[in-house]
Amino acid sequence: MPAPDNRAAPSPRITLHSLSKFFGRFIALDRLSLVFEPGEFVVVLGRNGAGKTTLLRTLALLLLPSEGELKFDSHPASRLPHSFKQRLGFVGHEIALYDDLTAEENLRFFARLYGIADGPRRAAEVLAEMDLAQRAQSRVRNLSRGLKQRLALARAWLHQPDILLLDEPATGLDAPTRERLHEWLARCHQSGRTVIASSHDLAESLRPATRVLLLESGRVLFDGPNAPNLAEELRAKLVTAAREGAR
Amino acid sequence: MSAWRVATALLRKDLRAEWRTKDVSTAILLFGFTIAVSFAFAFKPTPDEARLIAGGLLWLGFLFSAVLGLNRGFARETANNCLEALRLAPADPGSLYLGKLLSNLLLLLLAELVLLPVFGVFFNLTLWARPGWLLLILLLGTWGVAALGTLFSAVSANTRMQELMLPLLLLPLTVPVLVAAVDLTTLLLAGRPMSEGGLQFRLLAGFDIIFTLLCWLLFGYVLEE
């Protein structure tokens, strides 16, 4: 995964003001007030059900807030034009790729949806960036879990968004590929992009991040800059939260 | 970004996937064939009776097969949560609707063209005496079914009882299409002048235009979680 060589347009500042998301009676996000500055690399941590996925899906405009406000710069998310989605790249829990199309056909299709001028060239470029060029003609259903995940990352990166939202992007990747993913994400960040990624793995996920957000029951348990010995502190907070949750 | 570009991208993607898997066409054709055989053995009509009832049986067969095809067609978007990737795209939901409508319409029409001779053989009908009128009736009737079916297949995709929900939503609302298309097909098979079906043609065209526009506008709400 070579470095993204282009500079991103200035990312918008993302502001959440007292934002809540309910699913029936379940409170997934509880009056979150946060600001993500342009060009930050934020890792979102938390136990299962802490609200990481809901937060990322809300930021990707896939979920509407139940209460509160989400703004990109000064624009409320609810009033953004469809074209704004050009600036967002999202990888969720599922790969969101068509099983019966090849890796290349999938990327060419999404290139057309995103209005990319030279879709076939860009698709080939991204496949090469993700070390998938040799599997370009393989149908997605025949790819391994790790290769599918890399292709999902390629889809999110195809239109070179200036905000990357990644929900546990290292899922299914082997150790060397995870290492390269972190390097690639660090370079995305260095090119001026905002990267917000969730993870379960404390030690590994913290390395490239500049800021750490720890969620518990839809609330912020910790929000601060990354630091050398932060993993231990966060682990202790998580254990305490788990004990309190069990009571 | 142009709506047409998005719609044709979806259409090409669906046709390519269908060419490889034959998922939708196999479902429609096998089910349609089974219905034709069942009706033929259940009613055993004389040639005169066949001309009277064949229009109804033909359209019931098309409609039931279409439900199966529409369900399978949208299953492609729910597998791997591909629908999420469509919602992430900077495209107007109306253009996504248009793409899915075109692919559904094309696949249903092609399947109907294959099923027509099957019904013709089992009911001893001369279907191609006035091919232009036949194709027009097929197009207008199928358009109405596909217009509503595309929206409702997206609605039912997010429900637990997906297979049941689509027919429950679609069949009652397509009654006007069914009635008009059956009347016109019966006129055609009876060899009567098609000018007698002016009202039914207007009804079909009006239904298609109104429901296509309505579904186009509503598709964005349906896609929201």
User: For each of chain B's 225 residues, which pLDDT tens digit applies?
Assistant: 588 999 999 999 999 999 999 989 999 999 999 999 999 889 888 888 888 898 999 999 999 999 999 998 888 999 999 999 999 999 999 999 999 999 999 999 999 999 999 999 998 888 888 999 999 999 999 999 999 999 999 999 878 888 899 999 999 999 999 999 999 999 999 889 999 999 999 999 999 999 999 999 999 999 886
Give the pLDDT score at A188.
87
For residue A240, which of A218, A221, A224 has the smallest C-alpha distance? Answer: A221
At A183, is the pLDDT very low, low, confident or very high (cuts 50, 70, 90)? confident
Residues of chain B with Cβ-Cβ distance to A100 below 8 Å are 17, 20-21, 76
ipTM over 0.95: no
Overall average pLDDT of the A243-247 stretch: 71
Q: Which domain holds residue B104?
A: 3-224
In sign, the C-alpha dihedral spanning A234, A29, A185, A10 is: negative
Rounded Cα gap, residues A68 and B4, in angstroms: 36
Q: A201 pLDDT exceeds 80?
A: no
Under DSSP, is residue A177 helix (H, G, I), strand (E, B) or coil?
A: helix
Overall average pLDDT of the A117-139 stretch: 94
pTM: 0.90
At A180, is the pLDDT very low, low, confident or very high (cuts 50, 70, 90)? confident
Domains in chain B: how many in total?
A: 1
- Which of B88, B95, B98 best probes binding to A when mutated, by most A CB atoms within 10 angstroms? B88
Q: Do A96 and B20 touch (CB under 8 A)?
A: no
Give the pLDDT score at A15.
96
What is the dihedral angle through the alpha carbons of A233, A235, A240, A244, rounded to the nearest 10 degrees?
A: 140
| Closest alpha carbon within chain B to A86 | B90
Give the pLDDT score at A7.
56
Rounded Cα gap, residues A73 and A52, in angstroms: 22
Q: A178 pLDDT exceeds 80?
A: yes
The helix-helix angle for B131-157 and B47-78 (nearest 10°) equals: 40
Q: Do A115 and B84 touch (CB under 8 A)?
A: no
Q: A8 pLDDT exceeds 70?
A: no
Give the pLDDT score at B45.
85
Q: Do A83 and B1 touch (CB under 8 A)?
A: yes
Q: Where does residue A32 fall: left (phi above 0), alpha (psi -120 to 50 degrees), or beta otherwise?
A: beta
For residue B219, which of B126, B40, B69, B92 has the smallest C-alpha distance? Answer: B92
Give the pLDDT score at B193.
92
Give the pLDDT score at A9.
66
Q: A205 pLDDT exceeds 80?
A: no
Give the pLDDT score at A187.
86
Between A199 and A70, the more confident residue is A70
